[in-house]
């Protein structure tokens, strides 16, 4: 036995669209003026109920029509969308009892003139369905292109949500299973709609992973979350879709209407957002988690180094900020880390920090300004973080997409033993506090530019002037003298209050 199709082969056709086809000569004479037609079926049976799927435009000439009220009642129970009654050869006019019954039971009744074959009506409905399907596919294709383009932009999650809100003409948001809003786009919502969306989010939110005590529980016994959920509230259509992965995020939609193709467009967004928000964990995730726990419990970096791989392995620290000045959240941090090949990311006060294993070259990332350290061993990571922060400031000050802070390893600096150089630097810079020394270092590195130094340190240019003047007074030197600048630059690179 062949199973019946689960749904119609094409989007529904509005009754008004069929009535607008003047060549058919159809006229609505009873019942409501709106209905969605999913099929066309012709039957002269006294009771076609057993042969209807629901949503049909049933066409009949009333050959066996006896009790109009019973006939219409059975059609409504079967879910028929409308009745088309052919005038002649059986009935000269539509029976009045049938008109009354359709009005009473709310079933649209169409008068079909003798010159219109039933096959012409069926052909017109299929043609309207094909046109609707074509419009839906074109709309979905345009949405897919726009969403994919948004996913390739900096800050892809907000960009995808914005495009989705534009294409569905509504409000869209990412919620946690508890209903907390992570990202949103579109118009404002009433508190009642927000609460309803939060309830839908809890319905479809992915079930948490079972605890070890119930790890053996069969999949059938665990809570299975639905693939989507819908609701309406005061004329607003609500939808919720769970994202894939272990993040427990839910995409929710609030739109003024629900059109054919909305589900398809939302499905495209769900796939993209699932990929963009999925955690990017490699094979060493468990070892890295264990290393983090041990560091939090007070273990020295050297002790946890084996959990991260080779103790002598090199690591690169990258600090980043959005080039457009927008705040960076954990999702944006994860996306940037994934683009750079690392799951080790953190977002704090708008700055994203990425830890890269190995000594591979850091490359610019669209939409971001980056500062990178040189590759270092695990024990030197704190100092590398300081240098990455400095490099980020220099990149922003010079409007470069990427700057790298590297310690001098050759040239004149290599002629002086490191311990002697550091001792001299500490003695020379002893009068300076760390903030003053860092300002002097940045100012010298940017060739004495007040404005660029202010940008790099994120302070006012007058603050820079005051600090530099204070440095000159404390050190008792002329900072316009190139020899003085050179010696101070060498000292700041080798040691002192901000030595990294």
Domain spans, the chain: 13-127, 152-206+227-277, 285-405, 411-494
* CATH number 3.40.1390.20 given to 13-127: yes
Average pLDDT (205-224) is: 49
Residues 465, 470, 476, 479, Cα dihedral to 10°: -20
Whole-angstrom CA distances from 80 to 41, 45, 57, 130 are: 10, 15, 7, 21
338 vs 472: which has the higher pLDDT: 472
Least confident residue range of 45-49, 278-282, 289-293 = 278-282
Q: What angle do CA 495, 499, 500 make, to 5 degrees?
A: 130
Is the CB of residue 399 less than 8 Å from the CB of residue 449? no
494 vs 213: which has the higher pLDDT: 494
Spatial CA neighbour of 269 closest among 197, 162, 183, 187: 162
pLDDT score of 118: 94
Q: pLDDT tens digit string along 444-484? A: 888 888 998 888 888 898 999 999 899 999 988 888 888 88
| 41, pLDDT greater than 90 | yes
Least confident residue range of 112-116, 175-179, 230-234, 444-448 = 175-179
219 vs 446: which has the higher pLDDT: 446
Query: Three-state DSSP class for 96?
Result: helix
Is the CB of residue 258 less than 8 Å from the CB of residue 317? no
* CATH number 1.10.357.10 given to 411-494: no
375 vs 329: which has the higher pLDDT: 375
Average pLDDT (335-361) is: 79
Is the CB of residue 344 less than 8 Å from the CB of residue 288? yes
Average pLDDT (90-112) is: 94
> CA 329, CA 348: separation in Å to the nearest integer?
8
Is the CB of residue 253 less than 8 Å from the CB of residue 273? no
Say yes or no: do domains 13-127 and 411-494 share a fold. no
Q: Identify the architecture of domain 152-206+227-277 in CATH.
A: 2-Layer Sandwich (3.30)
Spatial CA neighbour of 230 closest among 265, 258, 210, 188: 258
Average pLDDT (383-407) is: 86
Pair type for strands 56-60 and 82-86: parallel
């Amino acid at each position: 036995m062949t199973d019946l199709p689960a749904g119609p082969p094409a989007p529904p056709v509005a009754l008004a669209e069929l009535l607008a086809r003047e060549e058919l000569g159809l006229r609505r004479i009873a019942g409501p003026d709106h209905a969605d037609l999913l099929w066309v079926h012709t039957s002269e049976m006294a009771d076609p109920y057993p042969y209807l799927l629901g949503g049909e435009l049933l066409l009949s000439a009333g050959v066996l029509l006896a009790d109009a009220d019973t006939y219409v009642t059975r059609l409504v129970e079967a879910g028929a969308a409308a009745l088309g009654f052919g005038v002649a050869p059986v009935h000269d006019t539509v029976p009045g009892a049938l008109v009354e019954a359709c009005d009473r039971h709310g079933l649209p009744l169409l008068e079909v003139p003798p010159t219109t074959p039933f096959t012409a009506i069926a052909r017109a409905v299929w043609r309207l369905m094909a046109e609707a399907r074509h419009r839906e596919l074109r709309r979905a294709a345009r949405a897919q292109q726009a969403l994919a383009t948004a996913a390739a932009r900096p800050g892809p999650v907000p960009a995808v949500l914005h495009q989705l809100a534009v294409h569905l003409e509504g409000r869209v948001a990412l919620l946690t299973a508890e209903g907390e809003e992570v990202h949103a786009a579109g118009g404002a919502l009433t508190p009642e709609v927000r609460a309803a969306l939060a309830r839908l989010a809890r319905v479809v939110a992915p079930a948490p992973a079972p605890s070890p005590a119930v790890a053996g529980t069969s999949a059938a016994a665990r809570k299975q979350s639905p693939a989507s959920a819908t609701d309406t509230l005061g004329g607003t259509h609500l939808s919720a879709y769970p994202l894939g992965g272990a993040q427990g995020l839910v995409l929710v939609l609030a739109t003024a209407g629900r059109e054919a193709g909305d589900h398809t467009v939302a499905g495209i967004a769900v796939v993209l957002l699932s990929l963009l928000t999925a955690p990017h964990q490699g094979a060493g995730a468990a070892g890295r988690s264990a290393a983090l726990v041990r560091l939090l419990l007070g273990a020295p970096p050297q002790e946890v180094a084996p959990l991260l791989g080779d103790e002598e392995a090199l690591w690169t620290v990258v600090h980043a900020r959005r080039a457009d000045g927008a705040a960076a959240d954990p999702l944006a941090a994860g996306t940037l880390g994934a683009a750079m090949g690392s799951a080790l990311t953190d977002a704090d006060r708008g700055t994203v920090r990425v830890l890269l294993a190995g000594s591979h070259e850091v490359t610019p990332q669209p939409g971001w300004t980056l500062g990178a350290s040189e590759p270092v061993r695990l024990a030197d990571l704190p100092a590398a973080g300081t240098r990455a922060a400095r490099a980020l400031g220099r990149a922003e000050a010079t409007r470069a997409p990427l700057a790298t802070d590297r310690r001098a390893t050759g040239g004149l600096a290599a002629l002086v033993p490191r311990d002697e150089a550091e001792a001299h630097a500490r003695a020379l810079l002893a009068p300076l506090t760390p903030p003053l020394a860092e300002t002097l270092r940045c100012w010298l590195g940017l060739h004495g530019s007040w404005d660029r130094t202010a940008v790099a340190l994120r302070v006012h240019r007058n603050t820079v002037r005051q600090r530099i003047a204070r440095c000159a007074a404390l050190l008792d030197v002329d900072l316009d003298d190139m020899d003085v600048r050179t010696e101070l630059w060498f000292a700041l690179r080798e040691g002192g209050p901000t030595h990294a």
